[in-house]
Amino acid sequence: MKFAAKTAAIALAGTLSLSACETNEEWGQLLGAVGGAALGVAIAGDDDDTMVALAALAGAGLGAWIGGNIGRGLDEKERERLAGSTQQVLAMEVPPSSPLRAPNAAYAAPTAAAPSAAWTSPTNPTTVSGKTTLLQVADNGSAGECRTVRQLVVKNGSETSEDVKFCRQTASSQWQPAQA
């Protein structure tokens, strides 16, 4: 199965699952699973269908676990702060010469110069905080663009992070989570 067909299958499964999500934990699990499966497929390549399937399953499982933990662990105001920091980072200007536009930028450790936005819980300011950091910027067609961000949440000293890809079709359109 070619890479494009695999990606389309993952996107279709994720899209069909969206209607079943009722809680933030479920949304987190779904977004984590779709992102993890896509990453697994990308890492496995296109050589061995069995290895690609195993990588997609492993990535989906790990992504669902991480995403579910993030969604379950935050109250509504904290989720709003996380979403706000993500939107703030997505809105930041990234120059054409930025190293974040390199094909392998998402797999490198975030640098101090990477755009980021921190937040603190309004209800639990001493125990819950987070930070969203831009990891990679990639062209997505004519005027479109995709950006991968790392969403870090610290709750009671325990850190959880998830890398999420957002895309938009034009410079004036809204950022949407990538389906795969």
Same domain flag for 81 and 153: yes
Same domain flag for 146 and 86: yes
**What is the pLDDT at residue 165?**
93
Same domain flag for 161 and 81: yes
Same domain flag for 46 and 132: no
Domain count, the chain: 2
Same domain flag for 69 and 135: no
The parent domain of residue 137 ranges over 76-177
Report pLDDT digits (tens) over 104-139.
776 776 666 789 999 999 988 999 999 999 999 998
Pick from 62, 2, 1, 67: nearest CA to 32: 67
Angle, vertex CA 68, rays to CA 151 and CA 122, nearest 5: 55
Cα separation, 97 vs 94, in Å, equals 8
Percent of the chain with pLDDT strictly greater than 90: 35
Does the pLDDT of residue 23 top 60, yes or no?
no
Same domain flag for 57 and 80: no
Same domain flag for 167 and 142: yes
Same domain flag for 68 and 40: yes
Q: Which amino acid is at 69?
A: N
Residue where one domain finishes, among candidates 73, 90, 125: 73
pTM: 0.59
Cα separation, 52 vs 33, in Å, equals 15
